[in-house]
Structure 1
Amino acid sequence: SNIVSGERLASSLTFGQFVKAIASFLAPYIAMWGATQAIPSLGMGWRVLFPVYMVIAVIAILWLSGTSIREEKEEGRPSTFGECLALLGKPFIFLCFLGIMCHVGIDVGTNTTAPKILMERLGMTLADAGFATSLYFIFRTAGCFLGAFILQKMAPRTFFGISVLCMLAAMVGLFVFHEKTMIYICIALIGFGNSNIFPVIFSQALLAMPQKKNEVSGLMIMGLFGGTVFQIAMGLASDAVGQSGAVAVMTVGVVYLFFYMLRMKR
């Protein structure tokens, strides 16, 4: 937020998500190549993934440390932990916090549930059903890349609405369809739809309270624990009624995001 203007913040954050999605998408392939000795693994096998990402991370840290950024000076004293949490008392900030929880819950939930749906309905093996996770990340990566450009031309609220409708249609499809192709289409729609939710909510929260950007940023990141909350609920639901129960829990998160969209600024 110190190096891009407010109207381009969502687009810039989305491009950052695109880079992050590349890392998520490539991780299993780097691990696989290391395990099969297709790349020099120095005896580490699949664990070669860790030094590869470590080197990239160190390069990024050194590059960033050498970059000159003029940060805005904070006015007044730093907020305490309690004062940061107190910001959740602001209605819109609280809505953003819940939105981040839903986004991460859907993200983690799709990764764990998509293969199980294929195994439950089509009798696929875990090895074959695992492609569903890669498919999700392919479309999530593509969505982040396209979103970085779309958000420069389209209002965040409009694009957010399109993304939520994609996910809502996909959730309905996961309840109805039992054909592999249709299930794959639904997974792809969730990947594309969920790709731009985080940066839009994050930017909306920062722009809502620019004088408390650090504190708001911390609260939004804390919302990542939504992945844990959703997993517990999805586990209980799937144990009770099968994978359709897990889909129902994710659908609640999508419906909330639709409600959140109605509260966003135009």
Structure 2
Amino acid sequence: MATFSKSYHAEQRPEAQTGKDYRFALTSLTSLFFMWGFITCLNDILIPHLKGVFDLSYSQAMLVQFCFFGAYFVVSLPSGALVKRLGYQKGIVLGLVIAALGCLCFYPAASLHSYAIFLLALFILASGITLLQVSANPYVSILGEVKTASSRLTMTQAFNSLGTTVAPFFGAYLILEQASEAISATASAQQVQMPYVFLAALLLLLAAVFAALKLPDMSAEITQNQTGKGDGENHQLKSAWHYRHLMLGAVGIFVYVGAEVAIGSFLVNFFTDPNIGAMEESAAAKYIAYYWGGAMVGRFIGAAAMQKIAAGKALCFNAVVAMVLVFVAIFASGQLAMSAILLVGLCNSIMFPTIFSLALNGLGKLTSQGSGILCLAIVGGAIIPLLQGVLADNIGIQASFGLPILCYGFIAYYGLSGSKASISEKGKA
């Protein structure tokens, strides 16, 4: 799953701290990227599990993603204010504790056999993850030399993707396989209890570790970055909302996250369809690893390729290929349809960071505000899957993938034309 930096750019970092050894701090922070990738991907396992346990429609099942990614929209800005008050290290610790509390709420949700409590637990869990991201991402951007910032971000993104690649095997074995042997719906629901209690314990352990760590205090550097001057005429504008390419970029982030999450959310149900894979849920869940693993591999390929290819053209190319692959998945069947939809993960790999960077191009000192706007657009992960769920209930799961095609169509347009830096007529006035 893509991570985001709330409002900071490594390129703006002052040189005062270069030469210090931050390897231990970076290694510690990398574990967080793995954990929130792992936890986020488990939603793809929870959706078919809870759908069966509570006899839900597709749209009802997609409330899992609605509550999870809805927390990003609700909690992102308050988290920024909280981190500003507490500091980044304390923000990490608090985020881990809140996420652990969300995991522990899965126990009473299963015992009471309540879908509503499951959704509340997911919202609490995602709130903790949001606070974690707002707290941890600045460290990755600011720790170390400016010239190596890209490699640090690539490393942490890779570990986030590693978490999303490993999680399906964990969920398939400890949740879906065990649930298939349960003798009642209540017993089946309770199969999530111990895995999430284990995750809660792991998160609390990490919280204790980060509370004890002597991480460098980067608040001064980050504050200086935020108040740095912009370039050229950018400082003359009072609001980032006047930049047309930023607004279109926010739409791009919205539809990208929505399409990526929606496809991942439907993979298990798609592969269990008699016309596609006719698999058991536990077997189908393991294929999710190929979808998210493709994103991990694609990041390294894309990082090398985009040294010679313009970012906008690379974004457009990946989006068009994704559209073709989803189109094949809709009209094909069997192994061809399965392979096509899994390969979309490879195309997704560069989209988030590329849209993010193109949208912030030329904002100068308004970069912080622009980043906040883009982060709010992650709520697409709540809305798009829910809309696809409604489509799946009415026209079938295979045809419902037409919605991600529209999303990738907009991304192709953004890469080709919409990403060109420009100011709205209102901003010029």
State whether TM-score is above 0.5: yes
Matched, 1:195 2:349: yes
1:159 deviation in Å? 2.0
Match in the other structure for 2:252: 99
Unpaired stretches in structure 1, ≥5 consecutive residues: 37-43, 77-85
1:261 deviation in Å? 1.1
Q: Do the aligned residues in 2 keep the contact of 1:11 with 1:148 (CA within 8 Å)?
A: no
Distance 1:140 1:190 in 2: 9
The 5-angstrom pairing of residues 12-23 of structure 1 reads 13-23=153-163
Distance 2:209 2:341 in 1: 34
Matched, 1:178 2:328: no
Match in the other structure for 1:133: 288
| Match of residue 257, structure 1, among 384, 399, 411 | 411
Distance 1:52 1:89 in 2: 44
**SS of match in other structure, 1:243:** coil
1:56 deviation in Å? 5.2
Amino acid at match of 1:23: G
1:142 deviation in Å? 1.1
The 5-angstrom pairing of residues 75-224 of structure 1 reads 87-120=240-273, 121-122=275-276, 123-180=278-335, 182-224=336-378
Distance 2:244 2:350 in 1: 22
Match in the other structure for 1:66: 216
Q: Do the aligned residues in 2 keep the contact of 1:160 with 1:200 (CA within 8 Å)?
A: yes
Match in the other structure for 1:25: 165
Instruction: Tell me the C-alpha RMSD between the 2 structures.
Output: 3.3
1:189-215 residue CA offsets vs partner (Å, 9 max, x unmatched): 210111111101111122231211111
Using the TM superposition, name which of 128-137 and 189-198 deviates more. Answer: 128-137
Match in the other structure for 2:199: 49
1:147-180 residue CA offsets vs partner (Å, 9 max, x unmatched): 2333334321232123112211211111221022
1:126 deviation in Å? 1.6
Amino acid at match of 1:138: G
Question: Number of paired residues?
Answer: 249
Using the TM superposition, name which of 161-170 and 13-22 deviates more. Answer: 13-22
**SS of match in other structure, 2:355:** helix
Using the TM superposition, name which of 195-204 and 45-54 deviates more. Answer: 45-54
Normalising by structure 2, report the TM-score. 0.51
Using the TM superposition, name which of 171-180 and 22-31 deviates more. Answer: 22-31
Alpha-carbon distance change, 190 to 138 in structure 1, aligned in 2, over 3 angstroms: same
1:87 deviation in Å? 3.4
Amino acid at match of 2:338: Y
Q: Do the aligned residues in 2 keep the contact of 1:175 with 1:244 (CA within 8 Å)?
A: yes
Using the TM superposition, name which of 216-225 and 67-76 deviates more. Answer: 67-76
Amino acid at match of 2:318: S
Distance 1:115 1:256 in 2: 26
1:241 deviation in Å? 0.8
Normalising by structure 1, report the TM-score. 0.79
**SS of match in other structure, 2:260:** helix
Match in the other structure for 2:74: none
Distance 2:376 2:325 in 1: 27
Amino acid at match of 1:106: A
1:140 deviation in Å? 1.3
Distance 1:32 1:126 in 2: 8
Q: Do the aligned residues in 1 keep the contact of 2:169 with 2:289 (CA within 8 Å)?
A: no
Using the TM superposition, name which of 67-76 and 212-221 deviates more. Answer: 67-76
1:90-145 residue CA offsets vs partner (Å, 9 max, x unmatched): 31111000000111111111111222222222332222222332221111111123
Q: Do the aligned residues in 2 keep the contact of 1:10 with 1:151 (CA within 8 Å)?
A: no
Alpha-carbon distance change, 167 to 155 in structure 1, aligned in 2, over 3 angstroms: same
1:6 deviation in Å? 9.7
Q: Do the aligned residues in 2 keep the contact of 1:101 with 1:227 (CA within 8 Å)?
A: yes
Amino acid at match of 2:361: L
Amino acid at match of 2:271: L
Alpha-carbon distance change, 54 to 97 in structure 1, aligned in 2, over 3 angstroms: farther
